[in-house]
Amino acid sequence: MEKLQKTLEEWRAMLDPEQYNVCRLKGTERPFSGKYNDTKTDGVYHCICCNEPLFDSQTKFDSGCGWPSFYAPIEGSAVVEVRDVSHGMIRTEVVCAKCDAHLGHVFPDGPPPTGLRYCINSVCLDMVARG
* Catalytic residue positions, numbered: 119
Alpha-carbon dihedral sign for residues 86, 87, 92, 98: negative
99 is in an annotated binding site: yes
47 is in an annotated binding site: yes
Three-state DSSP class for residue 68:
coil
Name, in order, each residue with C-beta under 8 angstroms of 23's C-beta and a sequence gap of 6 or more. Answer: 11, 15, 48, 49, 101, 102, 103, 123, 124
In contact, 12 and 108? CB cutoff 8 Å = no
Residue list for the binding site: 47, 50, 96, 99
Residue list for the binding site for Zn(2+): 47, 50, 96, 99
